[in-house]
Chains A and B, each alone.
Chain A
Amino acid sequence: MEIDPFIFRLSIFILSIFVGYYVVWSVTPSLHTPLMSVTNAISSVIIVGAIIAALAGDSLKLFNISSTFGFLAIILASVNIFGGFLVTQRMLQMYKKKKKKNK
Chain B
Amino acid sequence: MIRYVLAFALSLTAASAQAEIDIQEITSPGGIDAWLVEEDSIPFVAIEIIFDGGASLDDPAKRGATNLMMALLEEGSGDLDARGFQEAREALAASYGFSAYDDSVSVSAVFLTENRDEAAALLRDALVDPRFDDDAIERVRAQVQSMLRSDAQDPNSIASATFDAAAFGDHPYGSSLDGTAETVAAITRDDLIAAHTNALVQGRVYVGAAGDISADELGVLIDDLIGDLPMEGPDLPDRVEFGLEGGTTVVPYDTPQSVALFGHEGIERDDENFFAAYLLNEILGGSGLESRLMHEVREKRGLTYGVYSYLVPKDLSTMYLGQVASGNATIAEAIEVVRAEWAKMASEGVTAQELDAAKTYLTGAYPLRFDGNAEIAGILVGMQAQDLPTEYIAGRNDLVNAVTLEEVNQMAAELLDPDGLHFVVVGQPEGLE
Does B bind A?
A: no
